[in-house]
Amino acid sequence: MEYGPQHEVAVEIGGMPIVVRTDDAEFRALLEKRYAGFLGASANDPLALDVDIIRPDRQICEEEELEVWSEGGTWRLERGDFRAEWDPQAGRGRLAQDFSPYAIDCVLRIVHSLIQAQAGGFLLHSASAIRNGKAFLFSGISGAGKTTISSLMPKDAVLLTDEISYVRRDREGYRACGTPFAGELARLGENACAPITRLFFLAKGPENRIDPVETPEALRMLLRNILFFADDPELVKMVFRSACDFLARVPAFRLTFFPDSRVWDLIQ
């Protein structure tokens, strides 16, 4: 007789639940704390990730740097603190990791990136927020101002994330969803979703202004900021197509801002 893992936690990000299964009760408690606000109900045939916690903590892979590659249709993910595989056809994966939230966090980002690449969406280095029922993305590399603009947000806006935005494609267009992937603000986003109205590329400056961005430049910047882990030609093509489709639907601008709350007067 076969026994499955004793504990299950459904972590739902972007409306996509992944059931994390483990035998380790302490790890289950860690997951429930780490992803509070993003715990969903398990679907009938859920995506599932079986996690083996390796104790005591030790290096699991020799290679410290993250490596992601595809082998016979299965994605393999390795870093010093974890080793994982994900079968996109079956929607099942396995993960061996130390007892920490960092490895599972990284694996969930990658798995969601792979899922969205197939579905025309992507994860983006950007803050995002909902205001008046519309979602706005604020994209940029580290230091561009994602945390700053998030911290200046007015009370009538809902923070989706200050670090990694979840962009989903649906019949009507594109929606931004909250993520638990926090940056320097160390605050989880709200588990909410809204149609994306504008994409802003952030720049700090002496005054607040919005300028249009030519499409080639917008595409270049967007591709630079999409989370992209694998050196895989088919995945490159999918991400390129998704980025082009996105820019055909969502207008992109450069938002230069002086770091005070008045910048939000421009974001309605």
Site for another protein, rule CB under 8 A:
214-216, 219-220, 223, 233-234, 236-237, 240-241, 244, 247-248
* Smallest distance from another protein to CB 239, Å: 8
Q: Which is nearer to another protein, 61 or 236 (CB)?
A: 236
Q: Which is nearer to another protein, 149 or 213 (CB)?
A: 213
In sequence order, the β-bridge partners of residue 159 are 129
Q: Which is nearer to another protein, 65 or 214 (CB)?
A: 214
Q: Which is nearer to another protein, 4 or 233 (CB)?
A: 233
Q: Which is nearer to another protein, 110 or 213 (CB)?
A: 213
Report d(CA 21, CA 95) in Å as an integer. Answer: 10
* Smallest distance from another protein to CB 233, Å: 4
Q: Which is nearer to another protein, 170 or 234 (CB)?
A: 234
* Smallest distance from another protein to CB 213, Å: 10
DSSP state of 118: H
Tokens of 148: 């700053």
* Smallest distance from another protein to CB 251, Å: 11
Q: Which long-range contacts (CB under 8 A, 24 or more apart) does 5-12 make?
A: 5/50, 5/51, 8/42, 9/35, 9/39, 10/39, 10/40, 10/41, 10/42, 10/46, 11/35, 11/38, 11/39, 11/40, 11/108, 12/38, 12/39, 12/40, 12/191
* Smallest distance from another protein to CB 245, Å: 9
Contact partners, residue 248, CB within 8 Å, separation at least 6: none
Q: Which of 260, 243, 261 is nearest to 252 (CA)?
A: 243
Q: Which of 154, 160, 169 is nearest to 120 (CA)?
A: 169
Report d(CA 22, CA 16) in Å as an integer. Answer: 19
* Smallest distance from another protein to CB 216, Å: 4
Residue 166 contacts residue 203 (beta carbons within 8 Å) = no
* Smallest distance from another protein to CB 222, Å: 11
Q: Which is nearer to another protein, 186 or 248 (CB)?
A: 248
Residue entry with tokens 């599932």: 48
